[in-house]
Structures are given as structure tokens and as C-alpha cells.
Structure 1
Amino acid sequence: MINRFQPVLIAALVAAFSIAAQAQPAKGKNDDPVVARVNGQPITRSAVVEFYSQLPSPMNQIPLDQLAPGIINELAARRLLGEAAEKAKLGDDPEVKQQLKAVREQVLEQAYLDRKVTAEVTDAKMKARYDELIKAQPPQEEVHARHILAATEADAQAALDEVKKGADFAEVSKKRSIGPTAATGGDLGFFTKDKMVPEFAEAAFALQPGQVSDKPVHTQFGWHVIKVEERRQSPPPSFDEVRDQVHKIMADEVIQKTVDDLRKSAKVETYEWPSASGKKLPAIAPDAPSSKKK
């Protein structure tokens, strides 16, 4: 059980927590009970849960019930510090004002982009993009192979001779192979040609199911005897497997388009660094790199 979090951790979480807390929807009393009060002001369960969700590993592996007292204590401490800062009128300090302005701009920027992405990147649109990406990426041929790895050509040839006499390939691999797959009979599973070193790949993809290489194959790892079990066209990844990647692609496009559209109706002027020279630089092109979603 902890009673207080480290100040460094809290400082790192303040910004993220504050942004998320402002975005929380209103809840009824039964949905979001008050777990503490500071000078009459409530701290709700949702605030504790949100704080917990921002914790880094390995702290986020600890059950919430164990951390809740420490989180509540820290939220109360921050509330007290905030009230003290308000009473000290630190909000009127020019430096603090500038920092608050910068944070406000970041929160607004993120909120604006979040809403744009949420509106544009729907499940239906992601599924359609997924179908386009899969269609544009033709399947690759894969082979399912086993191998026997030996330190010398003579040892590999001895293993090959044993297989040619009718011995089971997997059993010979278990007995003779010095590779890490010996325990599974040299099973390498399915792989595409680009996943193996060239010498091994060329030999494996020249074989048909059931065939064994007619001579040992030399690579940087040693000498191999190869058997191909199956050949197939690689199945495409499912939508669920690549959902996050598709979302990121589309979100980046929405953000870029949003910035480009704003530039079209805005007047953006930049000046030579240092700005004291007063010399203007060429306007930024609409397709120039822009800020990405954080």
C-alpha cells in the first residue's frame, strides 16, 4: 500500500490528467460517487479511475483498489496546492499566464483534432480502407519447411543420407540438428522468401511439398538439409489485426487535410531567424509537414 506518489510522477501526469478530466461526460450520483472532499469540493471516483489509467508501467499493473487511497491523497494534495496558488494570485503572473495560454492552446488543438478524427474515421470507412489496402497488396507465396542444421558439410550430408534411406525427417532433425528448432523436428513454420537468408530461401522455394534438398545448403549459419511440407499463398491479416494501423493512417490523413484547409483561408507569415532581421521567408506550402496527433 502506498500513501503518496513521487512528485516527479505526479508532475508528469498532471497535464494528461487535467485534459482528460475536462473531457469527462457528466454522470449521475450513483454512477460517479464522491470519494473525498477538499474544503467542500468533491473528488469523484471517475477522477481516481482516470488518474489510474494514466499511470505508467509497472504501476498500472497494480490493482486499482490497492492504489486508490494513494491516488485520492495525491488528488487532494493537488487540489490544496491549486487553491493556494489561486489565493496567491499566481494566475496573474505574466510567466504563469504564458504557460497557461500554451497549455490551453494544446488542449484546444488536441480536442479539435480528436473530434475531427472521430467524425471522419468511422468503422465503416476503416473497413473500406482495409479492403483497399488488402486489394493493393497481392498475396505472397509461402512455404512451410523443416531443416536440419549441421556445423559441417559432412555432418549435413550424413543426415541427408539417413533421410534418403527412409528415416523420418523430423526425427533425424531432433537427433542431429544443432539449431534451436531441433526440439520441434526442425519446424520453421510458414515463411515468405524475404524472411530467410538468400541461399536458404532459394533452395526452399525450389522444392515442392514432400521434397528434400538434394544436397546440403550452405549459409552463414552452417549447413542445412531442407524439406518443404506445404506451399500456399499468404493469407491477408484480418481487419482486427491491423485495425490500429489503419486508424493511424486515416487519422494522419484527416489531420493533414485539416491543417491544409485551414492554411488555405489563413495568412501565415514567417520571418528569417532571428526574427529581428524582419526579413520574410517564403510562405509554407500547403503540403508541408504539419503537426500530428499526439
Structure 2
Amino acid sequence: MRNWPNWPYHSIAVVLCSAALLAGCGKKEQATAQRGQVVAHVGDEVITNQELENEFRLANIPPDKQKDPEIVKQVLGQLVTRKYLLQQALNAKLDREPGVLLDLLRAREQVLENAYLLRRVMSKPPTKADIDRYIADNPAKFSNRKLLQVDQIAFPLGPAAQSVVESSREAKSLDELDQQLTAASIPHGRQSGVLSSGDVGPELFDKIEAKKADDVFFVRSGQNGIFFKVLGEETRPLEGQAAANQARQLMRNDALKGEIGIATYSANMEAKFEGEYQQIMQGQGKGQ
């Protein structure tokens, strides 16, 4: 007999009911897929042309490259592997495991969350006047944009890397930081690269402009940290349609951050926390 975690019975019921809904949706989607243009069969699973096109979209592959045999082979091969592993997981009844069910529910929530935020942002596109104003207000990203040639070290951020980041203020060279990362067994890579003035905040860019020869800088990029030293720079304005496209994307990113901020505030106003979590979320927990 399966050893279930010590969950309240109603929690197990909620998860199982949710799993049933997910399974039902899966069967309905598969029936719809059967009526579409099928490009491959993997056991009982099918892959439709619509699914393949969606993979191209998620991989940011432009339309003119979507007929390239090598690209099709790679993307379709990955999709086939995923379908095969899905079938193996279902045969092993992993979709009934409480932990897996929670992961599935979380993935569903994230997809719907992103879809909702994107729809909110796309429903209010910037006008040409908005774009022109944004370009004029951000010369470092457009008319005065500079490309910086840098020597850089990239590494994953984490607790072990934090001490190296903190000590970087005293570092005199990338070689020194390279040695510290190696000593701390933190994986990293060193290479030359190009950094745009539009990719750093105005405060950091001002520091870069006033840099000394041996100054080393640090920036965060997603889940990674980057130490870099500027080797040279050249002015490369961004103008015309390229500037408009870039401005539109940056404004979309700003709008997305704004929507997330509004949603976070609204969610916390609506949420009702229980027990010790009420004190924690109100900033009254231990150590406050």
C-alpha cells in the first residue's frame, strides 16, 4: 500500500480532484489534436503541427527559419522525447503522486498568471508619441548609446557566491575574483563580451564613465552574476525603426513590472493569513 504523506484528508481530495480535471483536459486536448494535422506519433501520444509551431514560438525561432531541416529536426526531436517521457511517466502513474500533482498545479498557475499579465500589458500598447517620448527621455539607451568591450566572468548566484560578491568591492582585478570563485568551488566562465549602456542602470553607467583603469564592476543578469572590466567603448546610437522596436519592448517590460506590482498589492490586501503566518506577513515575526 502506498504511504501517503500526513496531509489533511480535504487537502488530498483537492489535489486528486484537480488531477482529475487536468487529466480530463488532457484527454479533451488529445481528441482535438487527433482532428488536427498530425506530424508524428509517439506510442499513444500525437504531435500536431500546432504544437510544433508553438515550440518554435517558445524558442523564438523566426518564421523564415522554421522550415530549416536542421532546426525542424532539433525541435521536433526534443518534442518527441518529451512525449515519450510523458508516456513513461503516465505508465508509472507518476501523475498520481502528491508531489507531482502539486508541481502540475503550480505549472498551470504560472502559465495562467503569465497569460493574464501579458494580456493586460498588450491591451494597452504605447502610442507613437509615447515611444518618441521614451526614446527622448533615455538617451543612454538610444541617441547616446555606447557599446562597452568587456572582459567578464559569469557565475550562478547563490549563498556560496554571496561572499565573493561582497568581497568584490575590494578586488583589484578579475584574476583575483577568478581565483576566489575557484577556491569556493563555484562554477564560472570567463570571456570577452560586449555590454550596451542601455543594459545597465544610469547610476552604474555613471560609475563606468568615471572609472579608473583597474575598476571591476558587478551586475546581476537573471539567475547569474557578472563581474566585468571595461576594455574600451564606442558610441553606437540606436535610431529609426530599430530604436522604436527596442523602446516598445522596454516599455512593455516596464508595464509588466507595473502590473506585477499592482497584482502583488491587491493580492496581499485580499489575502487572509492564518496563525504564525499572519505575524510573519505583517512583519511581526521573530527578529522583527
TM-score by length of 2: 0.41
Which of the pair has more CA radius of gyration?
Answer: 1
More helix by share: 2
